[in-house]
Amino acid sequence: MKLIFITLISVYLLTSCATPKPAVMLDDNTFLLTENAKSFGYGYSEDSPIEVGGVEKGEGPTNQARYLNALTGPNGESVSYYREGSCCFSEGFSGTYLLDIYRVTWEGSKDTFSIYMDLYHYDNLKIIKRFKAKGKEYGKPKV
């Protein structure tokens, strides 16, 4: 009995810690991003894509746009982006899947950055290095 109890507690703790928090919305087209990425590779590498999920609900591309719509340049500049294509066959617990690459820049920048996005998996969304995000003052957050 004690072993069953310990097993159940262990499973609960492992699954509750591994489950990403639901994304909060600024509006129907924009996620609220509040946490900065710690790694320079986050989003810039096929090994560390931004996991927006949504494909199982038919919202994968919409979630990608919601993430990108949340970004601003380093001084609050408007961001523009386009989908460059798919790449990088990846293997995961759910099988083989592709990542999407978006080319992203901000108004006045001479640089355009390649951002890797995964619409098959979810993770807590973070603000990629070199960018900032629209804050709560942008719109009324929706949960």
Domain boundaries, the chain: 22-138
Phi, psi of 46 (to 5 degrees): -65, -20
Average pLDDT over residues 105-128: 96
- Asked if the model's pLDDT at residue 5 lies above 70, the reply is no
Residue 11 has pLDDT above 70, yes or no: no
The tens digit of pLDDT for each residue in 21-33 reads: 778 899 999 999 9
Closest CA to 137 of 8, 26, 3: 26
How many H helices and E strands in the chain? 2, 8
Residue linked to tokens 């591994």: 18
What is the rounded average pLDDT of the residues 49-72?
Answer: 96
pLDDT band for position 78 (cuts 50, 70, 90): very high
112 touches 103 (CB < 8 A): yes
Is residue 58 pLDDT above 80, yes or no? yes
- Give the angle subtended at the CA of 107 by the CAs of 33 and 123, to the nearest 5°: 20
Higher local confidence (pLDDT), 10 or 92: 92
Q: What is the 3-state secondary structure (H, E, C) of 40-82?
A: CCCCCCCCCCEEECCHHHCCHHHHHHHHHHHEECCCCCCEEEE
Q: Given this model, what pLDDT does residue 92 score?
A: 65
